[in-house]
Amino acid sequence: MERIKKEHNVLAMSPKNEPVLRVASGSTVVFETYDCFTNKIKNQTDLFGSIGWDSINPATGPLFIDDAEPNDILRIDVLDISVVDQGVMVTVPGLGVLGDQIQEERTKIVPIQNGEAVFNDRILIPIRPMIGVLGVAPAEEEILTGTPGDHGANMDCNRLVQGATLFLPVHVPGALLAMGDLHAIQGDGEVIVCGVEIPGEVTVKVTVIKGRSFPVPLLEEGDAIMTIASDKLLDDATKTATKRMHAFLTDELQIEFHEAGMLLSILGQLRICQVVDPLMTARMELPKWVLAKYDYRLPVS
């Protein structure tokens, strides 16, 4: 099994990034990852302001996948996520939903014990490790890893966990896949601008899908599929995510336009991924059993 060390990382998704590893479609690769602070916060006296923005959200990679070409779709199966035994959280003036009320920086160390995040002596939270940043290179421009978009990256979707499958568009030869910013646990919204930030390893299988076209980013996890969208305003992100799921129903399942809208209005669940990055991210969830009723399966190769 191939492995990419965390020291090989980028701070922007870019078609100009040099790949650190090249593999065939269908390969399994382990990505070692720093936390979003490049592992520079070790204890509660280490503050966010001492790090510098040039060390925030490193994404391990990029990985070049043979035969991936523009207009293909890249399927990423998350086979495993492992994390270390200590995570970190911060509050920073001006950042997050409460940033205008925060007067000083604060750092909180969160131990991970027996599969739980020890928030304090009363609150133990079962961890559900997730990937905050997972994306491919955009077609032309360079986009910082902290900014989400149609290429993926910092979507901070807490459904991107072990067992999930993410479909992303391929914009450049090889796709140039990179990932990082793991969280031991994170709520929808990530309102204070962080989850339990933590280093770890992600094992994925990467497969090139050719000759298919459906709305991406698209995520399959548990009992649902999700269309994901990011925009400057959360309202616009929610509308785009909804329209993408509607297009999936009409184009892929061949459901009539009005019927598809009605179905979404009773079965769709519109959720917030995050509201703290340069672009806001939302997802529209739909039960997978709907796909089964139409004998539809997402492509595996």
Give the pLDDT mean for 6-23.
Answer: 98
Between 258 and 52, the more confident residue is: 258
pLDDT at 54 over 90: no
Shortest CA distance to 234 belongs to which of 190, 265, 194, 196?
190
Residues whose CB falls within 8 Å of the CB of residue 113, separated by 6 or more in sequence, listed in order? 85, 124
pLDDT at 1 over 90: no
The reported pLDDT for the residue numbered 55 is: 86
Whether the model pTM is above 0.85: yes
Which domains are delineated in the chain?
2-209 (2.60.120.580), 218-293 (3.10.28.20)
Number of C-beta neighbours around residue 28 at 10 A: 14
Per-residue confidence band for 75, with pLDDT thresholds at 50, 70 and 90: very high
Dist. CA 91–CA 89, nearest whole Å: 7
Q: What is the chain's mean pLDDT, rounded?
A: 97
Token pair belonging to 32: 């070692």
Per-residue confidence band for 155, with pLDDT thresholds at 50, 70 and 90: very high
The reported pLDDT for the residue numbered 53 is: 80
User: Which 3 state secondary structure label does DSSP give 27?
Assistant: strand
